Amino acid sequence: MAKGEWTKSDWKNWGRRVWRPAAKEVGLKADTRPRDLRGSFASLMILEGSNVVEGAEQQGCSPVVFLRNYAGVFAEYDAANRKPAADAINEARRDLMCPESVLAPDEVSAEAQKPLYKAKPSSGLEPETPSLPSARG
């Protein structure tokens, strides 16, 4: 195993101690996996105007893989309709347009409907993924 790679035990531990409590707190179904959110993240980056190289960098994959997976999303969005991801997220929350496959069955709380943040660029990479170096060294 390469230095910094997570074992199956590491992933299970992280899922139990970090992912599940966080997912529950924001109202996701118990069976939602972190990878279920990757497509949404990629779509929001493309909507903002990120190119293939920037998207691949954020997703922790090669530009070829990113384009293969998200070429349809690039084709779907017109450059004239770009908008900050924060605006798209806030609109979806306001309109309760979250996919049913991700929402918990009970009603979304008033707290969860508040804007996540004001339109401001993110600082960088999503939390550790298996394809990115681990801070654990």
Report CA-CA distances (Å) from 7 to 14, 36, 109, 131. Answer: 11, 20, 36, 13
**pLDDT at residue 78, rounded to an integer:** 82
**pLDDT at residue 102, rounded to an integer:** 55
- Please check whether residue 132 is in contact with residue 60, taking contact to mean a CB–CB distance below 8 angstroms: yes
pTM for the whole structure:
0.55
Q: Is the pLDDT of residue 122 over 70?
A: no
Sequence-separated (6 or more) residues with CB below 8 Å from residue 24:
30
Handedness of CA 116, 118, 121, 124 (dihedral sign): negative
Phi-psi region of 120 (alpha: psi -120 to 50; beta: other; left: phi over 0): beta
